[in-house]
Amino acid sequence: MSRKIIKSKTYLYDEKIETIAEVPEKDLELLPLNKDLKIIGKKIPRVDAEEKVTGTAVYTFDKIFTNIAYGKTLRSPYPFAKIESIETSKAEKLKGVLKILTYKNAPDIRWYGDYSKLFDQTVRYEGDEVALIVAETQDIAEKAASLVDVKYKELDFVTDTIEAIKDDAPKIYKRSNIPEIRGHAHYSRGNFEDGIKSADIVLEREYSTQVAIQNPTEPHGSVVKWEDDQLIVWDSTQGVFSIRDIIAGSLNIPESKVRVIKEYMGGGFGAKLEAGKYSVMAAIASKEIKRPVKVILDREEMNLAVGNRPDSHQKIKAAAKKDGTLTAMSLINYGAMGAYPAGTGVHWPLRSLYKCDNVETNEYRVFTNTGRARPFRAPGHVQGTFALESILDDLAEKINMNPLDFRIKNFTPIDQDSKRPYTSKKLIEAYKAGAKAIKWESRKPAGSSGGIVKRGLGLASQIWWGGGFPPAYATVKMNRDGSVQVLCGTQDLGTGTYTFISQITAEVLEIPMDTIDVLIGDTQATPYAPSSGGSTTAPSVSPAVYDAALQIKEKLIASASAVLNIPKEELTYSNGKIFETKNESNSITNPKLIRKMRERVLIATGARNQNTDKYAINTFGVQFADVEVNTLTGKVKVNKIVAAHDIGRTLNRLTLENQFHGGIIMGLSFALMDERVIDEYTGKVLTTNYRDYKMPTIKETPEIEVIIVSENDPLVSATGVKGIGEPAIIPTPGAIANAVYNAIGVRINSLPITPDKILTALNSRG
Ligand code: MOS
């Protein structure tokens, strides 16, 4: 129960995140392995499943007040323009229009998201914010938006990344489109040229990946409401506390005056880590009209303005000896930030996944007149792994080595930068289990499959962080009747957070899950927990919940000792009851005990532990793909994906499989289907709805087999949990690309692998 303040380090990309946090004084007893537990690790249906399928779950979109008003954002139709004038009088005359905000009448403030202006007279991409119209109904707001008369002066624009780096390209900000500050990132270890010299085979290849849009089922949006000087924001967000701080900072009001609430969520893949300008604009309008305001983005806005996975243009050089030793790798990459600063790096898998002493990478971030990139499920790793795993397969082929043996040969048990061992790396076990499940031994040499429909097998590996970190807290309250409420400032993106919090509490206190209520995602009601990003929710939050539940159990036992007059050591806690170990009939139930105590609510707050500094904390895995390529139509059909991973403890087998299914289907989409397409002459996005923006349906969904080779990771925390949201997607496109090559013997170096690319490649080979 006693606490200490510590420094804890965690790593995410190039960022060493040092946190100062309150953690338990002593290490908690390790949670037993799943085989010795009753609830954790089992297939437990979501506790919120019924609300979701019956439609009673209230999402941001469903939030309603009698006097609510509706907002519509007017966005730039041009990729690059100066606003010469805005005339709103016609729109204001429309019956039901309540407020129109533009750069002319809105406060001139910086938005704390990317520090751009809330309203700017220059619009830098199609979809950049121009005005917010608030009206009695959504229809009126949209009608009014079309009546706002904006005179634009169109500017020369550039939407293509490679065009944007040319000297004569239009400049998004007066200077170079590769910014001087942090426009270039360099990494190296060893001596690349020496590595090349010592190799028997050197390959050089270029790869490109498309821009993909997160497109969660539930759109971005906010409902805002002022209660006196306090602003309440219901937002579809991955981080209630970070959203609170962005909104409070932008509005220049105390953080205590902003309450952010997130109840149910229909997905968030990284783009919802950040507040939207719409929340701040809605808050300003709401204050003026003294009514709650709802701004929910439509699908077109989702595809234009709230983020994307940036493209990549990668040039890789890789070298190996005949025995399979990787001797050198280098990477040059260009990726588009869009019109505002964003991360675009892809080098991490190449840097960290395999043993290689000589590595050099150079990456460039490029401004373009397109929507700004935002994190998207394993940012950079999906793109980087595709390219890395493609060239490794080519190398293996050149030295006549089985691609699986090639990867095993270059396995590393230590992190090559810090030289620390990993807390756990059961990747060899994963290779073996996965290879068996996909029948890897049946794999034929590339292109040797006969007939019109050719079959192939491929694999790709995965590394990610996802160990979680402090500070993260959870409070468990037990009432007089034994019912329990758990409070935690985390959020459930649809991943099952509500359920695993309930499971852990039920497991420790040995009470039914239906006596436990979980309240999360409310900055005013819950203790702090971090944003749900980087696959850190369960690894950060589960130890805090476990700690709080253990403390409640301790309190119950100590109190029972006082009530029963029996030393603690002679008492046993079991199934919500405490009894004398040698005389089970001398017992007291939790409700009776709490009544006797004359306390109405027992409370304990648990904390996430410090991270170890002696080990590197990562997740690992491999996916195998079994595909068919129709050489007449060019269509790829993925028959099966086997995913074998070391991701620590499984909290819930059902939600774990859900995560893998989602990640793999999303990875399949990136490999074969989804792509933001921009018309080069107008700079306009052509794929702004679910029909034009291609995503898989049940028809494209393959058979998926999930194998978990880890039982827990006790060096991470007492629950031994690591994240799985991102590991699930990372290797899928690389595995599919390698399987396609294995089927047809021609390599497609650019994603998505669409039928036209396959047919072109087959034709060029003759
Ligand atoms: Mo994720 S891209 O950290 O939501």
Measured from the CA of 535, which atom of ligand 1 is nearest?
3
The segments of the chain whose pLDDT lies below 50 read none
Inter-CA distances, 58 with 235, 259, 299, 381, 603, Å: 12, 18, 20, 34, 28
Which pTM does this prediction carry? Answer: 0.97
Q: Which of 17, 220, 273, 306 to mutate to test the pocket of ligand 1 (most atoms within 8 A of CB)?
A: 273
The number of beta carbons lying within 10 Å of the beta carbon of residue 356 is: 23
Residue whose C-alpha is closest to residue 753's, from 664, 665, 692, 673: 673
Residue whose C-alpha is closest to residue 45's, from 499, 695, 677, 381: 499
Token digits of residue 231: 């602003």
* Cα of 299 from ligand 1 centre, angstroms: 20
Q: Which residues, listed in sequence order, are joined to residue 367 by a DSSP beta bridge? A: 338
Whether residue 543 has a cis bond before it, omega within 30° of 0: no
d(CA 380, CA 399): 29
Q: Which of 10, 213, 269 to mutate to test the pocket of ligand 1 (most atoms within 8 A of CB)?
A: 269
Whether residue 752 has a cis bond before it, omega within 30° of 0: yes
Residue whose C-alpha is closest to residue 130's, from 90, 89, 85: 85
Residues lining ligand 1, Cβ inside 6 A: 238, 269-270, 273, 375-377, 379, 533-534
d(CA 9, CA 433): 33
Q: Which amino acid is it at 513?
A: M
Give 714's contacts (C-beta < 8 A, 6+ positions apart): 30, 720
* Cα of 685 from ligand 1 centre, angstroms: 24
DSSP symbols for 297-313:
--HHHHHHHS--BPPEE
Residue 1: per-residue pLDDT: 61
Using an 8 Å Cβ cutoff, are 42 and 653 in contact? yes
Residue 14: per-residue pLDDT: 66
* Cα of 411 from ligand 1 centre, angstroms: 27
Residue 87: per-residue pLDDT: 97
Give 432's contacts (C-beta < 8 A, 6+ positions apart): none
Give 390's contacts (C-beta < 8 A, 6+ positions apart): 205, 207, 734, 737, 738, 741, 747, 749
* 206 is annotated as an active-site residue: no
Q: Which amino acid is it at 375?
A: P
Measured from the CA of 725, which atom of ligand 1 is nearest?
1
The residue contributing the CA closest to ligand 1 atom 4 is 270
Using an 8 Å Cβ cutoff, are 335 and 343 in contact? no
Measured from the CA of 379, which atom of ligand 1 is nearest?
2
Q: What are phi and psi of 274, to 5 degrees?
A: -115, 150
* Cα of 466 from ligand 1 centre, angstroms: 10
d(CA 534, CA 529): 14
Token digits of residue 334: 């260009």
* Cα of 336 from ligand 1 centre, angstroms: 18
* Cα of 388 from ligand 1 centre, angstroms: 21
Token digits of residue 225: 């409401």
| Residue environment code for 55-85, b if the CB has 16+ CB neighbours within 10 A, otherwise e | eebebbeebeeeebbbbbbbbbbbbbbebee
Residue 110: per-residue pLDDT: 86
Q: Which amino acid is it at 703?
A: E
Residue keyed to tokens 């999906």:
382
Measured from the CA of 378, which atom of ligand 1 is nearest?
2
Work out the angle at residue 156's Cα, subtended by the Cα atoms of residues 151 and 158, and round it to the nearest 5 degrees. 120
Token digits of residue 604: 């304990």
| Through-space distance between the first and last CA atoms of the chain, rounded to whole angstroms | 72
Q: Which of 15, 262, 306, 377 to mutate to test the pocket of ligand 1 (most atoms within 8 A of CB)?
A: 377
Measured from the CA of 238, which atom of ligand 1 is nearest?
4
Q: Which of 265, 348, 726 to mutate to test the pocket of ligand 1 (most atoms within 8 A of CB)?
A: 726
Measured from the CA of 270, which atom of ligand 1 is nearest?
4
Please tell me the number of Cα atoms within 13 Å of 518 on its side-chain side: 30
* Cα of 532 from ligand 1 centre, angstroms: 7
Q: What are phi and psi of 364, to 5 degrees?
A: -130, 135
